[in-house]
Amino acid sequence: MSSKKNKEAFLTPLGLNNPVTVQVLGICSALAVTAKLMPAIVMGISVTIITALSNVVISCLRKTIPLRIRIIVQLVVVAALVTIVSEVLKAFAYDISVQLSVYVGLIITNCILMGRLEAFAMQNEPWPSFLDGIGNGLGYAKILIIVAFFRELFGSGTLFGINILNYDCVAGAGYVNNGLMLMPPMALIIVACIIWWQRAHNKDLQQK
């Protein structure tokens, strides 16, 4: 249940094999939802749940999937799962479904999902695949939260919508919110800074 390999599947995506900073997957959605902290957290949780579930489903089916159409099969499984979850939420938890409606398209097309299905779930048992999904989802959420923290703090001067920097004394000292922080390119720059920091601290990741 918690062999060394399983632990690795769960823990490495949080650090040395992070889906965003090392595998460089899911960058596009990292740009889209990180202008504020709250959507970043919601997106992180949703991707974690869907990656884990679709990893399990594909891992159960992995021996039956025809090789030549495996990507299509993976896509259909992911799309069906996301659609069913959003339909059920719409019926039983309408407010949450409204919050998530923006993310449905972003979740389906997130390359972390396809990347993990193709690289891990197609070769491994359901339980390690589940752990791999949770680990990669959390690794993705971690980066989103770091990026969103800086973008919201310096872009809007708030955190979770609560005022942090917008006071007269701060403005009087010559500080203004940086509108560039709210623009998508800034997310790329922050992600790049995280990658830089991580590579500088881990010699293994440096390219020879």
Query: Which residues contribute to the site for another protein (CB under 8 A)?
Result: 32-36, 39, 63-69, 72-73, 76, 80, 83-84, 87-88, 90-92, 94, 98, 101-102, 105, 151-152, 155-156, 179, 182-183
Nearer to another protein, 69 or 200 (CB): 69
CB atoms near residue 62 (< 10 Å): 18
Is 69 exposed, middle or buried, given 0-12, 13-18 or 19+ CB atoms closer than 10 A?
Answer: exposed
Strand partners, 158: 163
Three-state SS at 158 = strand
The least CB distance from residue 63 to another protein, in Å, is 6
CA 74 to CA 118: how far, in whole Å?
8
Minimum gap (Å) between residue 44 Cβ and another protein? 13
Cβ neighbours around 147 below 10 Å, total = 26
> What gap in Å lies between CA 42 and CA 193, rounded to an integer?
23
Instruction: Report, in Å, the least distance between residue 114 CB and another protein.
Output: 17
Give the HSE-up count for residue 136: Cα atoms under 13 Å, Cβ half-sphere: 33
Closest contact distance (angstroms) between CB of 56 and another protein is 16
Closest to another protein by CB, 134 or 152: 152
Q: How far is the CB of 206 from another protein (least distance, A)?
A: 25
Residue whose CB is less far from another protein, 98 or 171:
98
Helices (H), the chain: 4-11, 27-32, 37-61, 70-92, 94-108, 111-116, 126-155, 168-172, 184-201
Least distance to another protein from the beta carbon of 156, Å? 8
Identity of the residue, 128 or 155, whose beta carbon is nearer to another protein in the bound complex: 155
The nearer residue to another protein, 95 or 168, going by C-beta atoms, is 95
Which of residues 23 and 156 has its CB atom nearest to another protein in the complex? 156
